[in-house]
Amino acid sequence: MNIKEKMKPAFRKLEGGLFSSVEKADVGDALSDLQKRGVALMSWADPFAPDPSIPQIVLDKAIEVIKSGFPAHYMMPIGSLDLRKAVADRLNRKYGITVDPARNIIINPGSDIGLMFAMTPFIGDGDEVLVHDPSYPSNFLNAELLGGVTVKVPTYEEDNYHLRIEEYEKRLTPKTKMVLISSPNNPTGTAYTRKELEELSAFIVKNDLICVSDQAFEDTVFPEHEMVNIATLPGMWERTLTVCSVSKGMGLSGFRVGWIFGDDVIMDVLHGAAVNIQGATSTMAQMAVLPAMENDDFIQDYIVKYDNRRKYAYDVFNSTPGVSMKMPEAGFYSWINISKLGNSSEIVKYLAQEALVNCNDGKYYGEQGNGHLRLIHGAFWNDEDCFAAIDRMGAALKKLAISNGIS
Ligand SMILES: Cc1ncc(COP(=O)(O)O)c(C=O)c1O
């Protein structure tokens, strides 16, 4: 019996590393093998990993709630009302919007499931979803898993990967149903400007499309750039679902707490489907993150660290022959162009060997990702550990450039 033939076509193609060696950072045992060899893992978008980094206010609260015994029990699948209230207040402080915590927010176990959930009511049989390229790989796959079609919209290095609306217009068909935007973008660190999001919104409204805004990195925008929530732009509220979490900005990826907010007509459906699609979020984690939702000042210290690190990476890589990178506008990762030095898959392997650093092969982030590496410079608590890894990478890439006759 060929069990795969009984599966939906998009699922048949998936490989998790059980029967083949899979190089992607997020599947299989490849990472633990590298770790055993003493390689610095800088390929998971997980702030400060693997070092301890729970903010004190969250740690204290987590201990208190565990001791209370209450977290042995479920919270409602739509999430704790206290947390939804705190999210609503934070949305007001962050974007100046007023939402009803009882109607416009749902808590979930992080934005990976949040993104899938947000698309599920809309996407099926052949529906097309426009996704900028490069993008977070799951954002290319979700539509396909739902039976839809992902249509990649190129963005270009020379624009620092900002959007060209004409590229969206060129790909519009009668089947286009949704625009998915990762704002700010992983892996390019692009923080989309108000102007370009206004242009994108006008395109979405004019063509009566749905928008899913993946804002996993919304808290990581550097001060010289603006974080704009596309749902707040004219005509967008009733057609946008915004997906967020505590993973990236607060550095609490292991807590698995996220939220979706949007208009109550859509949210009523998500509330109705919550138990089937996302289940309930950890009670302990929801209670523990509450103080961070009420006071997230500690994120400013993280931004200072990321700012130093992006500048360090920028200096090292841009002074390495054959290598270049743009200054990230958000996030804690460097998007490095190594196309002059060779094939990115081979260079990832070479760097693990030569520099003892594991970074990501850009090809997983879309057609525009070829010839690039993504390095999580947000890894490790101490800046020195990060700088040392960047230095080792710079030296290894320089050696490669020299052996290729590039200086
Ligand atoms: C752009 C983007 N969105 C969403 C996620 C999912 O994050 P989480 O499920 O931890 O919220 C990630 C994780 O790497 C990401 O990079």
Q: Is 111 in the pocket of ligand 1 (CB under 6 A)?
A: yes
Please report, as a single letter, which amino acid is at residue 295. N
pLDDT, position 177: 98
Residue 393's domain comprises 3-53+298-403
Q: Is 216 in the pocket of ligand 1 (CB under 6 A)?
A: yes
Give yes or no for residue 27 having a pLDDT over 60: no
Of 256, 254, 151, 136, nearest to 189 by C-alpha is 136
Task: Report how far apart the first and last C-alpha atoms of the chain are (Å, whole number).
Answer: 57
**CATH number of the domain bearing residue 17:** 3.90.1150.10
Give yes or no for residue 290 having a pLDDT over 90: yes
pLDDT, average across residues 33-37? 83
Number of domains making up the chain: 2
Residue nearest to atom 14 of ligand 1 (CA): 45
Q: What is the CA(246)–ligand 1 centre distance, in A? A: 10
Ligand 1 atom closest to residue 246's alpha carbon, by position in its atom list? 11
Give yes or no for residue 114 having a pLDDT over 80: yes
Residues 97 and 16 in one domain: no
pLDDT, position 237: 98
Q: What is the CA(151)–ligand 1 centre distance, in A? A: 20
Q: Is 150 in the pocket of ligand 1 (CB under 6 A)?
A: no
Q: What is the CA(112)–ligand 1 centre distance, in A? A: 6
pLDDT band at 258 (very low <50, low <70, confident <90, very high): very high
- pLDDT tens for each residue of 42-88: 999 999 999 999 999 999 999 999 999 999 999 999 999 999 999 99
Ligand 1 mutation target, pool 113, 141, 245, 332, most atoms within 8 A of CB? 245
pLDDT, position 17: 84
Residues 287 and 305 in one domain: no
Residues 305 and 289 in one domain: no
Residues 366 and 224 in one domain: no
Q: Which helix (H) or strand (E) holds 203?
A: helix 194-206
Q: Is 258 in the pocket of ligand 1 (CB under 6 A)?
A: yes
Picking from 239, 268, 294, the residue at the C-terminal end of a domain is 294
Ligand 1 atom closest to residue 258's alpha carbon, by position in its atom list? 11
Ligand 1 atom closest to residue 135's alpha carbon, by position in its atom list? 1
Of 95, 390, 23, nearest to 261 by C-alpha is 95
Percentage of the chain with pLDDT > 90? 94
pLDDT, position 164: 98
pLDDT, position 26: 55
Picking from 294, 329, 363, the residue at the C-terminal end of a domain is 294
Q: CA 9 to CA 6: how far, in whole Å?
A: 9
Q: Is 245 in the pocket of ligand 1 (CB under 6 A)?
A: yes
Picking from 294, 320, 352, the residue at the C-terminal end of a domain is 294
Q: Is 185 in the pocket of ligand 1 (CB under 6 A)?
A: no
- Provide the token pair at 376: 């999580």
pLDDT band at 217 (very low <50, low <70, confident <90, very high): very high
Give yes or no for residue 385 having a pLDDT over 70: yes
Q: Is 247 in the pocket of ligand 1 (CB under 6 A)?
A: yes
pLDDT, position 23: 63
Residues 6 or more apart in contact with residue 356 via CB below 8 angstroms? 37, 38, 39, 40, 389, 392
pLDDT, position 209: 98
Residues 80 and 159 in one domain: yes
Residues 131 and 73 in one domain: yes
Residues 6 or more apart in contact with residue 39 via CB below 8 angstroms? 352, 356, 357, 358
pLDDT, average across residues 102-131? 98
pLDDT, average across residues 235-253? 98
Residues 325 and 275 in one domain: no
* Full DSSP string of 253-265: GGG--EEEEE-HH
pLDDT, position 16: 87
- pLDDT tens for each residue of 292-341: 999 999 999 999 999 999 999 999 999 999 999 999 999 999 999 999 99
Give yes or no for residue 241 having a pLDDT over 80: yes
Residues 13 and 136 in one domain: no
pLDDT, position 100: 98
Q: Is 213 in the pocket of ligand 1 (CB under 6 A)?
A: no
Residues 25 and 155 in one domain: no
- pLDDT tens for each residue of 164-188: 999 999 999 999 999 999 999 999 9
Ligand 1 mutation target, pool 42, 106, 111, most atoms within 8 A of CB? 111
Q: Which residues pair with 241 in a beta bridge?
A: 212, 262
